[in-house]
Amino acid sequence: MRIARIVVLVASAAISAAPAAHAQARAAPSRRNVDWPVYQGDHDHTHYTTLSQISPANVAKLRVAWTYDTRDAFDGSEMQTNPVILDGVMYGMSPKQRAFALDAATGKELWSFDPTGGRFTGPRIRYRGVVVHEGKVYFNYRYRLFAIDAKTGRQSPGWGNDSGWVDLRAGLDRPVEGLSVSASTPGAVYKDMLIVGTSVPEALPSAPGDIRAYDVKTGAIRWTFHTIPHPGEPGYETWPPDAWKIAGGANAWSGVTIDQRRGMVFFATGSASFDFYGANRLGDNLYANSIVALDANTGKRVWHFQGLKHDLWDRDFPAAPTLVTVRRNGRPVDAVAQITKTGHVWLLERTTGRELFPSEWKRMPPATLDGEVAADSQRFPVVPKPFARQQLTEDGLTRRTPEAHAAALKIFRENPTPHPFTPPNLTGILIFPGVDGGGEYGGPAFDKETGLLYVNSNEMAWLLKIVPREDKSIFGAHCAECHGAQNTPMAPSLTGVGNRLTREQIITTIREGTGRMPAFATALDNVAINDLANFLLTGQDVAASASTNPFYTKYRNTVFDIFLDHEGYPGIAPPWGTLNAIDLNRGTITWTIPFGEYPKLVAQGVKNTGTDNYGGPIVTRNGLLIIAATTYDNKIRAFDKTNGRLLWEGNLPAAGNTTPSTYMVNGKQYIVIACGGGKNGAPSGGTYVAFALP
């Protein structure tokens, strides 16, 4: 995932309410109301619904029922929320991270809670929704976990600290001031505990990805699972001896999944930090890039399955596990399905983690960077076949125009990548599928009737270049990793940051970090932090000393971006995005279609190219597969789930880079999507759009 840009935290919070709305934020429960009660629809993360009012026969008649403009969109902002609907009330978040409640039948705002007190200064942060449980709404802003009253939007008394929030940095066995921790995906409730995974920086210094369970009434930590094992814990031997003190990552940024009946929590982790050079974390790095099952009551490990050892390519597991039931020898078997950025599906027996399809170990090429030791072998599923292409060759480059092919061919030859798992090197490599998948954070949908898993896939390569870290300046030593050498406008750009933020705001962000940006409160002293702020404001830098960076690595990346041709289109041949149906009973791909279009290319007669896509589908019992997700064409589409035939498409004000929700209020079924846009240069938006039949 790309590294988030600089952002400022403001301590206070504010509440606004529509007239008389806070007196009653919920409609009366009714058998004519059907909820979308949790993130992704159910605790199993299947994205599945039995609602049938909207059907293949009438879906083409869908019309906009209501819209809600958050008025919070700004240049580069995103909105990845999958809204929750309970008893006729919809709960969501805006691009500026306001939590709000709407009348789900009309889109009328009932209340709004602003964790910044109206002083959000941006730029973007990405959060994917809220948790609603027993009259409280739980949501995250940076390192603060809030609990607010679901009826009034006011902070709940007795939750967290004296300011009414829980500090996600606390309890990680490291100084709070040196950590950047947030929760981009909402947690899940088991009994009286809110179980949460976190987002942490992908560069050093970083924080560990501990899974924690919080008391839903008080916010007190009930248990913790260390994803970077401490001495005496299983997996400790897969890291250097002191890694548990300084290593970071191995975090479940995509959330957790709970088997409520068995009392088990499942999560899938990302890579260890730093993503592309691991000399400071030699070993297999459990529990990074792993699917892990815990006892939800105690946090004790039940089983784990590591899908990738010593990740050097940012191949996080990109979505929370999906709980499915498949057929084996005529009998039902409860399982866990996990999609990957590499375009594979792992299917594991739920209680043991045993593989339900065969896999194989393959030898891997060695690393060439000084001090690096890549894993000598990796495991791959044999069945099902990958839902994304696995090897990029010259024959697979774009031929959109002769000029586009020539531009792509030049880049391809300058960055030879003979193996999909060629370790990063000084020449440069092409990562394919790219670091945004394959699969992505929207996750798959699972059809409980047919055993089909539906997953949308990116078909994009990424370019990575590594160089020795020779910078002597403070900015070069600490910031060029992500922002480019000499403050060049490499994304995320800091060019002109002094026009957007005050000196005090810049210093606060350097100290505390944000999203994937590390906190430097322990890595830099006060003098160095002030010198760095001066550089960002004036361009005058000072030399860094060895003592200013205890997290020093010998190499850093200078280029990390999508492989594009000279006109900004993908450098590979289409399709650039696909939609796939995978039979988990048989381990076969039932159908695949190109997914998404570029409007400018369509105008030139070039159609069905597919595009990069972010978000996921929902599947209905009566035959529909509904998804937005495509980055550039601003569409939401409904397909026949049996064959991928397009049945309907609707226009959106911005891309819906999330998963839709569907629900019923007063006997009418709705489909709602958050239209946040903002991905890969696409226009940003801040509107929720609900569709229904006339």
Same domain, 528 and 450: no
Q: Structurally, how many domains does the chain consist of? A: 2
Nearest alpha-carbon partner for 462 in 501, 411, 396, 498: 411
Q: Is residue 4 part of a domain?
A: no
Spatial neighbors of 287 by CB under 8 A, at least 6 apart, are 227, 228, 229, 235, 250, 269, 304, 306
pLDDT on residue 540: 60
Distance CA 170, CA 181 (A): 10
Q: Is residue 317 part of a domain?
A: yes
pLDDT tens digit sequence for 202-225: 888 899 999 999 999 999 999 999
pLDDT on residue 20: 38
Same domain, 336 and 228: yes
Same domain, 272 and 218: yes
pTM of the model: 0.89
Same domain, 111 and 197: yes
Same domain, 444 and 496: no
Same domain, 449 and 475: no
Same domain, 41 and 148: yes
Q: What share of the chain is helix, strand, coil (3-state, %, to 5)?
A: 10, 35, 55
Same domain, 540 and 590: no
Same domain, 96 and 193: yes
Q: Is residue 401 part of a domain?
A: no
Helix 503-512 and helix 526-538, axial crossing angle in degrees, nearest 10: 130
pLDDT tens digit sequence for 635-657: 999 999 999 999 999 999 999 99
Q: Is residue 158 part of a domain?
A: yes
Share above pLDDT 70 across residues of the chain, in percent, rounded to a whole number: 84
DSSP 509: H
- Token duo for residue 510: 């350097």
Same domain, 485 and 605: no
Domain range for 489 is 470-512+521-552
Same domain, 141 and 238: yes
Nearest alpha-carbon partner for 388 in 334, 448, 462, 324: 462
pLDDT tens digit sequence for 119-162: 887 667 889 999 999 999 999 999 999 999 999 999 999 999 98
For 294, list phi and psi in degrees, rounded to 5: -120, 155
Sign of CA dihedral 152, 157, 163, 164: negative
Q: Is residue 76 part of a domain?
A: yes
Q: Is residue 475 part of a domain?
A: yes
| Mean pLDDT within 21-38 | 64
| CATH number where 598 lies | 2.140.10.10
Q: Is 7 exposed, middle or buried (0-12, 13-18, 19+ CB in 10 A)?
A: buried
| Mean pLDDT within 500-527 | 62
Q: Is residue 86 part of a domain?
A: yes
Same domain, 163 and 202: yes
pLDDT on residue 36: 99
Per the DSSP assignment, residues forming a β-bridge with 147 are 138
Nearest alpha-carbon partner for 201 in 221, 223, 174, 235: 174
Q: Is residue 426 part of a domain?
A: no
